[in-house]
Amino acid sequence: MSTLLKIKKVLFCFTAEVSAVTFQQSPQVVKEKTEVQINCSHDDANLPLMSWYQQRKGSLSMTFLGFGYATAEPTNEGRLEEQFQLRRQSMTAGTLTVHSANLSHSGVYYCAASTHSTQPAYFGKGTKLTVLDPDRQITPPKVKIFRPSPKECKNQKEEQRKKTLVCVASDFYPDHVTVSWKLNGEDVSTGVATDSAATPVDKSYRITSRLKISATLWENQDNSFVCIVSFFDGDTTIYRNDTLDVKGKGGGITRGEYLNITQGAKLSYVVVIIKSCVYGLFVGFLVWKLQGSSGKHK
């Protein structure tokens, strides 16, 4: 069987079965030279093998860090042993330790579980680690909702008319944020499109979220929209929000501003697609590599 065919076979198993296992991982924000423990646990006691991967900030590739069974000493990937240490607490829990964190360690760390190196691997969503830059100050976001462009959906049929509200969170550091929407106090998820990651701007970050609604909903003068941004500073989660009442004033947006934001959104979607494809290929390659490594040690 060719290498490419092996990778495709692994990817098929991975994408078909990944949702069956629930992982627990939490983000971290630390200072330089801190010893960091990244914990991972899942809910399937029939998966004794745990593997770890690192995706550095700004990189599309992933680095295999090591693996271990619950009943044996974990194995680091050669040259990385001085930086990382793997431990297993039980069949469903493990820890990756970064001995002395520096800026290059910032990124997302993934743990994966499987019954054996030749079987499909189940991946968690990852632990986002940010090692703080000493030249940057921790700063919560500023949040602003912009009203829909007056010219949006102007020539569309009545049933197709949509309006887009744009929420921009800016001037924050680090980039541990999530964005959510409310309509008249109720959570809204339909029609929401948020950038996959915050964009660096000078020494801070910015993220944009769009809420697409029917024009009829926007024309209801009693409706009130809220954009909520949660920001994790390493110790606590801070919430910032902005409210936009349909009948209220302010929150205007020019056509030029609207076009700039939507063009940025399109670029973000392209980046998401590219990252997803590359991520899938690397996962398949690394799992295949792990299969070969395990075979050699039999």
Q: Which phi-psi region, left, alpha or beta, contains residue 219 (left: φ > 0; alpha: ψ -120 to 50)?
A: alpha
Q: What is the domain-level CATH number for residue 283? A: 2.60.40.10
Instruction: Indicate whether 106 belongs to any domain.
Output: yes
Q: Is 184 exposed, middle or buried (0-12, 13-18, 19+ CB in 10 A)?
A: exposed
Q: Does one domain contain both 88 and 150? A: no
Q: Does one domain contain both 100 and 23? A: yes
Q: Does one domain contain both 119 and 194? A: no
Cα–Cα distance, 138 to 132 (Å, whole number) = 9
pTM for this entry: 0.74
Per-residue pLDDT, 157: 65
Number of domains in the chain: 2
At 223-235, the pLDDT tens digits run 999 999 999 999 9
List, as one string, the DSSP characters of 258-293: HHHHHHHHHHHHHHHHHHHHHHHHHHHHHHHHHHHH
Peptide bond into 174 cis (omega under 30): yes
Per-residue pLDDT, 90: 93
- Structural tokens at position 1: 């069987």
Q: Which phi-psi region, left, alpha or beta, contains residue 251 (left: φ > 0; alpha: ψ -120 to 50)?
A: left
Instruction: Indicate whether 147 belongs to any domain.
Output: yes
Residue 151 domain boundaries: 142-253
Per-residue pLDDT, 298: 43
Residues in the chain predicted with pLDDT less than 70, given as ranges, are: 1-20, 153-159, 249-298
**Chain mean position to CA 226:** 23
Q: Does one domain contain both 124 and 147? A: no
Phi, psi dihedrals of residue 292, rounded to the nearest 5°: -65, -40
β-pairing verdict for 186-188 and 177-183: antiparallel
Identity of the residue numbered 296: K
- Structural tokens at position 121: 């691997």
Instruction: Indicate whether 104 belongs to any domain.
Output: yes
Q: Does one domain contain both 129 and 156? A: no
Cα–Cα distance, 13 to 33 (Å, whole number) = 39
